Amino acid sequence: MGAGTRRGLVFALAGLLAGPTGLTGCAGHSRSFAPIERCLATQRPADALVLLDAQKHAGRDRLLYLLNRAMLLRLTGDLAGSNAHFEQAKELIDALSALSVSEQAASFLVNDATRSYEGEPHEQVLLHMYAALNYLEEGRRDEARVEALQVDLRLRRLAERAPESPFRADPFARYLTGLLYEERGEWSDALIAYRKAFEAYRAHGERYPLAVPPALQADLLRLTARMGLSDEREGYRQAFGDVPTEGSPLEEGLGEVVFLLHSGLAPVKREESLVLPDPASGLLVSVSLPRYERRTRHAQRARVAAGDRTAYTELAHDIEAIALANHEALLPGITARALARAVAKFAAAKSVQKRNEAASVLLNLAAVLTERADTRSWLTLPAQIQVARVALEAGRHDVTLEVLGASDRVLCRQEFPGVRVEGGRRTYLSYHWPEP
C-alpha cells in the first residue's frame, strides 16, 4: 500500500467516523435506556421493568441493573422487592470498593466503561434514602432507622476517600434521618442530624442554588430551644430571620404527613467524541468524554392539600445539580485519562507502522472504535426531591397532590384517599413525576 493510498483510506475513515465537525454523539449506555424512560414518562413502571429485564446487562453494569430494578419495583409498589435489590446493590458496592488490577489496566488500554460501575457518591447515598423511604412507606420505622445509620457509615466512608470533596456531606440524607430520630424521641441524634443537614445545605448552596428548607429551619429552632441551647438557637435565629416556630405537632398529639415529590429524571450522560487525523502519519487520534445533559422539566413545586390544610413543597434535594457539579469536579481526571489513553493508543499504532502498515491501520482503527466515554449513571433517579410537611389530626384523611408548573399551572393531580395518620407519628407519602 502506497503512502498516498494509505492516507486516502485513513482520511476517508476519519471522515466517516468524525463527520464534518469532528464531533460525534455515539450510542452508549444512556441511549439504550430511552425506551425505559418513555415508559416512565407515561407512568408505566411495570412495562419499564419488563424492558429492563429484556435487556442484556454486562457484569460490570450489575450495580446499575440492581439500582434501576429496585427503583422500578418501588414505582410498581413492590417495596419489599425493591429493598431486596437495594440490599444486593449495597453488598456489590462494598465488594467493588476493592481495587481490581485487571479493570484498571483495561480502563487504561480500552476505555473507562470497562470498569465495574461503583456508583457516584450521591447515588450511593440515595440508595439508602430510597430504601429508608420504602421501609417508611411500609410502616417499618426501625428498619428505616437502620438505613439512617448506614447512611452515616456511607458518608464517613465517602469523606475518607475524598476528604476535599464538597459533596462528602449530603443535606437531604441528614434532613430525613433527623426527621426519623426526632419522631422516635431521640432528640440529641435528631439535632445532630439537623445540624449536619444545615451545614450541608449551606455548603451545597455555595455551588448551586439551594436554600435551607424553611421546615428544617423551624426544626433547628425548635430542637435547640427544647435542649436549652440558647446560644446556638440565637445563631440560627439570626441566620434565618423570621421563621414561624410552632411547637412540634407530634408532641401535641397530632400526626404529620411528610410528602415527597420526586420530580423529573436525573440528567443523562452523553458521549462526545473528537476524532482527528494526524497528517504526518495518516493515523487517527480519538478522545471521547462524557457530558451531562439536563432533561426537560416543567414541574416547579407541588401543592399538598388535606382537610383544611394546604402546604407547598420545598426543594430538599437537587440531584440534577449535584450530578452536574460532581461531574464538573471529576472531569479533569476523566479528561487526563482519556488523553493519556489516546496518546498510548496512537503511539502503539505508530510504532508498528514502519514494519506492517496494515497492522498499524487495524490497530489504529481498533483504538478509535474502542475509545468510548463512560456514560453510565443511575437513570431512574429523579431530578429533584421536594418535601411538604402537613400536621393533621389522627385519623383517615384524603390527601390531594397537585404538581404545579410555571405560574402555578396545574400539571397533574393525584388523590391519596384515606391516608392513615397516627398521633405522634409521621406518615410518609411519595409521588414520582418523571415528566411526560
For position 145 contacting another protein by CB under 8 A, the verdict is yes
For position 329 contacting another protein by CB under 8 A, the verdict is no
Are the C-beta atoms of residues 355 and 284 closer than 8 Å to each other? no
Nearer to another protein, 160 or 308 (CB): 160
For position 9 contacting another protein by CB under 8 A, the verdict is no
Binding mask 15-54 for another protein (x = CB under 8 A): ----------------------------------------
The count of chain residues that interact with another protein, using the rule CB under 8 A, is 31
Q: Which of 21, 102, 238, 407 binds another protein (CB under 8 A)?
A: 102
Q: How many CB atoms lie within 10 A of CB 236?
A: 23
The window from 148-156, 239-247, 259-267, 328-336 that contacts another protein (CB under 8 A) reads 148-156
Nearer to another protein, 38 or 140 (CB): 140
CB of 240 to another protein, least distance (A): 32
C-alpha cell of residue 357: 502498515
Are the C-beta atoms of residues 104 and 152 closer than 8 Å to each other? no
Distance between CA atoms of 424 and 394, rounded to whole angstroms? 9
Distance between CA atoms of 212 and 225, rounded to whole angstroms? 19
Binding mask 349-388 for another protein (x = CB under 8 A): --xx------------------------------------
Q: Which of 26, 51, 146, 287 binds another protein (CB under 8 A)?
A: 146
| CA–CA–CA angle 324, 327, 330 (5° rounding) | 155
For position 324 contacting another protein by CB under 8 A, the verdict is no
Nearest to 72 by CA among 386, 325, 381, 291: 381
| 269 CB-contact burial (10 Å; exposed 0-12 / middle 13-18 / buried 19+) | buried
Are the C-beta atoms of residues 215 and 391 closer than 8 Å to each other? no
The window from 30-38, 97-105, 273-281, 391-399 that contacts another protein (CB under 8 A) reads 97-105
For position 59 contacting another protein by CB under 8 A, the verdict is yes
C-alpha distance across the termini of the chain, in Å: 55
Q: Which amino acid is at 279?
A: P
For position 156 contacting another protein by CB under 8 A, the verdict is yes
Are the C-beta atoms of residues 139 and 255 closer than 8 Å to each other? no
DSSP conformation class of 60: G
C-alpha cell of residue 309: 390544610
CB of 137 to another protein, least distance (A): 16
Nearer to another protein, 34 or 339 (CB): 339
Nearer to another protein, 142 or 308 (CB): 142
For position 109 contacting another protein by CB under 8 A, the verdict is yes
Q: Which of 1, 347, 369, 410 binds another protein (CB under 8 A)?
A: 347
Give DSSP secondary structure letters for 401-414: EEEE-GGG-EEEEE
Q: Please identify which residue in the block is written with the cell numbers 388535606.
A: 306
Nearer to another protein, 94 or 246 (CB): 94
Q: Which of 3, 20, 21, 142 binds another protein (CB under 8 A)?
A: 142
Distance between CA atoms of 281 and 69, rounded to whole angstroms? 48
For position 101 contacting another protein by CB under 8 A, the verdict is yes
Nearer to another protein, 50 or 153 (CB): 153
For position 340 contacting another protein by CB under 8 A, the verdict is no
Binding mask 404-433 for another protein (x = CB under 8 A): ------------------------------
Length of the chain measured in residues: 436
Distance between CA atoms of 372 and 312, rounded to whole angstroms? 43
Beta strands in 177-331 (DSSP E): 255-263, 268-277, 284-293, 301-306, 309-312, 314-318
Nearer to another protein, 119 or 267 (CB): 119
Distance between CA atoms of 336 and 340, rounded to whole angstroms? 6
CB of 285 to another protein, least distance (A): 16
Q: Which residues bind another protein (CB under 8 A)?
A: 59, 87, 91, 94-102, 105-106, 108-109, 142-143, 145-146, 149-150, 153, 156-157, 160, 344, 347-348, 351-352
